[in-house]
Amino acid sequence: MTHIKTAVFPVAGLGTRFLPITKSVPKEMLPLIDKPLIQYAVEEARASGIENFVFVSSPDKPALDDYFRTNFWLEDHLSSNNKTDALRLVRDASLSPKSFWVTHQTKALGLGHAIWTAKEFLRNEAFAVLLPDDFIHSDRSAIGQMIEAHARIGGNMVATMDVGRDAISAYGCLDVEARAGKCLNASGMVEKPSPEMAPSTHAVIGRYILQPSVLDKLAVTTPGAGGEIQLTDAIAADIAHNELWGYEFDGSRYDCGSKSGYLEATIAVALDRIDLAPALWNSMLARTEIGAAA
């Protein structure tokens, strides 16, 4: 049993860095081999004991709304043809209708606005947020690691990693005051600072455990960096009520919102799979040899 029961998955962004595919395929439905990014995020949450799943989607993304619904026709077909492995995969990709909800952000006004859109599903208790395009490859669920730490120290918590000064301006950035093991106590947080102005090189990665008071702050947050309503600004504004913690998770994070990150994630997943790794190694070695011979 975990004290965090609900996770929000904001999936209403436009995915412009992946055009033209995102013209009709939502970024979160892009596959790492044979499962969409959104399913990896849902599995990470499920592995941590989370029971309720809220998707903040867009009316233009019906594929996402459909994906976790039971496909009775397909299940019947696989079952009557004794395709038990395929049936298991299909069932794993479904959620009980009592455990998931889809709400629509009609305009992509920013991540903060997407979370605020989910407020009616978030009762008076802390909740998790997972951004599916931040793929975390790890032995233990990254959000599960955070939930364990959060049970001890509370407050608002964000996943963090050191990205170095050159990269920090692409991220939210923690103003770190003190460290206790993997937990970094922060006095503030700023969205996309310039490298010179960044208070640290500790970037915010797409996993959060938030107190409901952040929703009140979101209600009055005005557009910030990039003209969007930023989640970072609302969490920073909540610091008078709740301590802010960064959590250095175990695992490799891939930015699947970028093409190079998505490609690296695909290779990492393939190299971890017994059915694919040997063929991939052979292919890479053959190409290296051809390259060396040329």
- Residues lying near ligand UTP in the complex (CB under 6 A) are found at 10-17, 27, 56, 105, 108-111, 113-114, 131-133, 257
Best CA proximity match to 64, nearest among 104, 96, 122, 97: 104
Minimal distance, residue 257 CB to ligand UTP, in Å: 4
Identify whether the C-beta of residue 157 lies closer than 8 Å to the C-beta of residue 138: no
- The residue among 10 and 183 lying less far from ligand UTP, judged by its C-beta, is 10
3-state secondary structure of 81: coil
For β-strands 156-162 and 52-57, DSSP reports them as unpaired
Minimal distance, residue 102 CB to ligand UTP, in Å: 12
Give the Cα separation of 181 and 199 in Å (integer): 20
Radius of gyration of the chain (CA): 20
Minimal distance, residue 105 CB to ligand UTP, in Å: 5
Between the two ends of the chain, the Cα-to-Cα distance in Å is 58
Tell me the CA distances in angstroms from 113 to 45, 124, 152, 227, 252, one per residue in order.
22, 19, 29, 12, 28
Minimal distance, residue 98 CB to ligand UTP, in Å: 24
- The residue among 144 and 172 lying less far from ligand UTP, judged by its C-beta, is 172
- The residue among 60 and 148 lying less far from ligand UTP, judged by its C-beta, is 60
Q: Which amino acid is located at 27 in the chain?
A: K
- The residue among 154 and 223 lying less far from ligand UTP, judged by its C-beta, is 223
Give the Cα separation of 67 and 54 in Å (integer): 13
Minimal distance, residue 135 CB to ligand UTP, in Å: 11
Tell me the CA distances in angstroms from 111 to 145, 175, 233, 271, one per residue in order.
23, 21, 11, 32
- The residue among 205 and 237 lying less far from ligand UTP, judged by its C-beta, is 205
Handedness of CA 282, 288, 293, 294 (dihedral sign): positive
- The residue among 135 and 247 lying less far from ligand UTP, judged by its C-beta, is 135
Minimal distance, residue 285 CB to ligand UTP, in Å: 34
For β-strands 100-104 and 127-130, DSSP reports them as unpaired
Minimal distance, residue 22 CB to ligand UTP, in Å: 7
3-state secondary structure of 203: strand
Q: What angle do CA 104, 107, 109 make, to 5 degrees?
A: 110
- The residue among 206 and 251 lying less far from ligand UTP, judged by its C-beta, is 206
Minimal distance, residue 104 CB to ligand UTP, in Å: 10
- The residue among 175 and 228 lying less far from ligand UTP, judged by its C-beta, is 228
